[in-house]
Chains A and B, each alone.
Chain A
Amino acid sequence: MDKGLIQQKLDNTFLRKALRNFAAAYPVARAKAFEGIDFEKLRGRISDFKMAGLEQLPALVEQFTASAEKSGARVHLCTTPEDANRTILEIIRSKNADFLVKSKAMTSEEIELNHYLEKNGVRCLETDLGEWIIQLAGERPSHMVMPAIHKNRDEVAELFSRETGKECPPDIPYLVQTAREALRSGFLTGQVGMSGANVAMADSGTLGIITNEGNGRLVTTLPRTHIALVGVEKIVPSLTEALDIIDILPKNATGQKITSYVSFIKGPTGVEGRELHIVLLDNGRLRLAADPAFREALKCVKCGACANVCPIYELVGGHVFGHIYVGGIGLVLTPFFHGFDKAEEILKLCIGCRKCNEVCAAKIDIEGLIVDLRDKIRKPFGQKFLFGTLMKNRKLFHAALRTAYLAQKPFQGEGGRIRHLPLVLNRETANRSLPPIAETPFRDMFQRSSRSLVPGPESREKVLFYSGCLADFVYPDMCRDTVTSLEKLGYTVTFPQEQTCCGIPARYSGEMEVARDMARINTDVLLNEEADFVVTICPTCTMSLKHDFGKLLADDPVYAEKVRRLAAKTFNFSELAARKAGTRDSGSGTSKGERQVVTYHDACHLKRGCGVHEEPRKVLQELAGMEIAEMTDCDKCCGFGGSYSIKYPEISQEVLKNKLENIAATGAQTVAVDCPGCKLQIEGGLEAAGSTLKVEHSATLVARRIG
């Protein structure tokens, strides 16, 4: 990705403010719109019928075509953008027309229709306010629902002044009225009208169009010919399914219960001579629908919610975070609609926080698809050695980490933290100091201590501790505290020395084969020893053991069953500890003084990767005796994202900045986390800012209390 462009967006104060305000307002409006509605149930239904529809998409296309033609519409199935462009031009020419008046259709952006038609002598007029603004500016949409969210009123006033020839003040109602007046003659003189569609019903051949401005109704009414450009994946069996989409889309898109207009269009209406042409756009969709690995991407209803909640989109906008389709799903659809060359760079921009998965109207595993797609893109130089040779060999990998302990020495500052890295890295780490690699990793510490080698009573449940590399080599104390806490809570703990990296870094970098090997190695290590539980203190590792191993090895005849067994007994520290809450007298806070106030940061992979967010709070309150002062956006990413903070330090730092502000506002002196990565990131930011706040893992806080 062009670093200059990223920096330009990060420096654009209007864009930053606009997107930040939106990010703050959206969840509130959305929650209000969904009041009294079971979102999970609704999106579950949508996910199910969309998936079933995709599995038999050619049949749905056929059924829709027959129904629509029966009602008098002409249906054109177009395989490529070129086909669709040419078909539309032919329809326009057959009407002896040279002026197309359009309402908003992302499919039209997808095939770059305006460019093609203008080249062939047809004038195109976008009438959706946002689309008109970007048409005048010669840009592309930066959001699927709000295409001109990146433009401020001054820029719009300038564009409108230039277009209308009269001076327009930067006053929004005035500008909207200007658009009304300026575009009215377009509606009245446009010879052919064009729309998209939000849904198409196979049984009746009806199109459903969801709009707010009223331009959609005008372009489908005033010109005698209406062309609807519709992606084939929009076809659903019947009205029943269409109503679910109409129900969820405006709520998820803009927090409206319903839009101003929902139109159901079946066939050409009115007197003879009126025509309805439905151009069904394939452009890779039918092939994608037949691909079991990625077809779920087409469940998308294009609400744009994935962009609305994305912390990276919030910083850089849709001109960076996407191609023509933006936001999380834009990253996924781009390779299929526009080719892998267009997707290569943007696929790396996802930080992996899974916020999008949480709000997706069709329950698409957007983040998972992004990760899977990275497997298909070109890998950076050196990556093959790193993952293929180094990480697959545990002894070599761990030896490299031990060597790094020595190599880092010259860069360590006071207190051992690394503030300055050599050369180019220096600038980009300036806002965050890094903890050093420990002299003695936990694995050595554990081996030397005899404490846990003494087995407890036979009745004790046995825990295998899977620490994860970061905790093992950077935060050995965190590991020690975990063992202490678990033992005090009544478990017997062992640390299998053969455990190695969970494979997530390989998987996130698209090295799926390496990730599979790591999954096999760890599965064997962790199943080899009899134990009741496998406990991790890194949510990414938990997610890996619980979910990713299963996904990676689903087709492996030997390991598919093994990884299921492993997943069933793997828990995050908080989950297991929470089981013992209430059984101990740690809640009163009287024995060790006043209750300490902490604020809690939800790790992305713990909350959205494992569905764990109540247990950590229970552990802090009932076992660690703490009081929690919740911060705003407690479950929003801290900006770490593993290697993301090194690949895109400028973005990572900005995400972190928001987090630090929210932390500071709580007044708490300690930030509790359940993730070594979050600790590394937040601690680094606090330290660089000269703050005295501490960041502690829950296990440490519990150990201090009961240890």
Chain B
Amino acid sequence: MVERFQVAAEAVGAVVKRFTTLADGADYVVSVAGTSPVAAPSLPPAIRQTLAGLAFAAPQDFPLANVGISVAHAGIAATGSLLLDLTDPTDRSATALPPVHLVFLDATTIVPTLADLAGLLEENLNRPSPAYLSLTTGPSRTADIERVLTIGVHGPKELHILMLEGDASWTRD
């Protein structure tokens, strides 16, 4: 399933990196983000801790950030899609404005198809409180000029999926 996910995600232009420890994943984040401030408003404490060396941008500076970082709730193998809970508008800005979007994904949360996510989606949407859930598949794209596929219009030009296999300690709050 992990392989199927990777093939599907790469087919739509995502970068998929597989890690067995959170520390290796964090190293990769640092290698991409460098020293410029990142848009990462709501990372779980374990991830936040391993990324302590990064500079974190304040929400009003997200339009200037080069990299946004988030955590997926699940993956879909058939399409290489990620399920993100973006109910907080700040999280949406962090994943929508910067040209590079890095997403942590727990490999054990990958399901075969969209239909297999129905339960999880339902659970979130049937609560009385407002919600904003997003399925993200690859970088932003358009084919509006002469049907030529072009990556990166208004959303991220790059989507990097940091898939963690084995070490699940980071998923705990």
Contacts and interface: CB of A to CB of B under 8 A. Distances in A.
* A and B pair up: yes
Interface of A: 18, 21-22, 25, 70-72, 127-130, 133, 146-149, 151-153, 156, 172-173, 175-177, 179-180, 183-184, 187-188, 201, 203-204, 206, 212-215, 217-218, 220-222, 239-240, 243, 246-247, 254, 257-270, 274, 276
16 contacts: A18-B146, A71-B129, A146-B144, A146-B147, A172-B145, A173-B150, A177-B152, A213-B153, A214-B155, A217-B96, A246-B114, A257-B137, A260-B138, A261-B135, A262-B81, A269-B130
Contacts of A267: 129-131
Contact of B114 (A71, A156, A243): A243
B92 interface: yes
B89 interface: yes
A301 B96 CA distance: 26
Interface stretch (B43-51, B120-128, B161-169): B120-128
B30 interface: no
A263 B89 contact: no
Contacts of B137: 257-262
Contact of A206 (B125, B141, B145, B146): B125
B7 to A, nearest CB: 12
Given A217-B134, A261-B136, A270-B89, A148 B144 contact: yes
B150 A218 contact: no
A213 B132 contact: no
A179 B154 CA distance: 8
B148 interface: yes
A176 B153 contact: yes
Interface string B86-129: 11111011011100000000000000001100100110011011
B133 to A, nearest CB: 4
Contacts of A261: 134-137, 140, 155
B139 interface: yes
A519 B6 CA distance: 59
B52 interface: no
B121 A239 contact: yes
A274 B145 contact: no
**Listed residue (A156, A175, A240, A261) with the most chain B CB atoms within 10 angstroms of its CB:** A261
A269 B88 contact: yes
B153 to A, nearest CB: 4
Contacts of B79: 257-258
Nearest to B96: A217
A464 B130 CA distance: 67
Interface in B71-95: 78-79, 81, 86-90, 92-93, 95
B142 interface: yes
A243 B153 contact: no
B16 to A, nearest CB: 16
B90 to A, nearest CB: 8
B8 to A, nearest CB: 8
A500 to B, nearest CB: 48
B156 interface: yes
A24 B101 CA distance: 34
Contact of B144 (A128, A152, A214, A274): A128
A133 B144 CA distance: 9
A621 to B, nearest CB: 38
A147 to B, nearest CB: 7
A268 B106 CA distance: 29
A183 to B, nearest CB: 7
Contacts of B95: 217
A21 B147 contact: yes
A176 B129 contact: no
B34 interface: no
Contacts of A266: 125, 130-132
B141 A262 contact: no
B61 to A, nearest CB: 12
B145 A156 contact: yes
Contacts, number: 169
**Can you list the 3 inter-chain pairs with the closest CB atoms, starting with the nearest?**
A214-B155, A267-B130, A130-B144
B104 to A, nearest CB: 19
**Listed residue (A22, A206, A274) with the most chain B CB atoms within 10 angstroms of its CB:** A206
A221 B141 contact: no
A663 to B, nearest CB: 27
B136 to A, nearest CB: 6
A176 B150 contact: yes
A255 to B, nearest CB: 10
Contact of A257 (B78, B86, B150): B78
Contact of A258 (B63, B81, B93): B81
Contacts of A213: 140-142, 144, 153-155
Contacts of A152: 146
Given A129-B144, A243-B118, A260 B131 contact: no
Contact of A133 (B93, B136, B145, B153): B145
A254 B144 CA distance: 11
A276 B130 CA distance: 10
A274 B89 CA distance: 10
A136 B121 CA distance: 39
A27 to B, nearest CB: 14
A268 B131 CA distance: 8
A212 B141 CA distance: 5
Contacts of A214: 96, 140, 153-156
Contacts of A260: 12, 136-141, 155
Contact of B132 (A128, A153, A177, A269): A269
A317 B60 CA distance: 44
B154 A215 contact: yes
Contacts of A151: 145
Contacts of A153: 145-146
Contacts of A215: 153-155
Contacts of A184: 63, 154
Given A239-B121, A243-B118, A217 B145 contact: no
A381 B148 CA distance: 47
Interface string B9-51: 0001000000000000000000000000000000000000000
A152 B97 CA distance: 28
A156 B96 CA distance: 25
Contacts of B150: 172-173, 176
Contacts of A220: 92, 132
Given A127-B154, A176-B153, A240-B118, A217 B92 contact: yes
Contacts of A156: 145
Nearest to B148: A172
B135 A203 contact: no
A71 B130 contact: yes
A176 B134 contact: no
Nearest to B155: A214
A175 B145 contact: yes
Contact of A149 (B96, B128, B147, B155): B147
Given A217-B95, A264-B131, A268-B130, 4 more contacts: A25-B147, A221-B92, A239-B121, A239-B122
A261 B97 CA distance: 14
A129 B132 contact: no
B113 to A, nearest CB: 9
Contact of B154 (A22, A71, A183, A262): A183
Contact of B93 (A22, A221, A243): A221
A203 B88 contact: no
Nearest to A204: B125
A476 to B, nearest CB: 48
Contacts of A72: 130
Contacts of B145: 129, 133, 148, 151, 153, 156, 172, 175-176
A217 B155 contact: yes
B126 A203 contact: yes
Given A146-B147, A152-B146, A184-B63, A269 B87 contact: yes
A201 B121 CA distance: 12
A188 B63 CA distance: 8
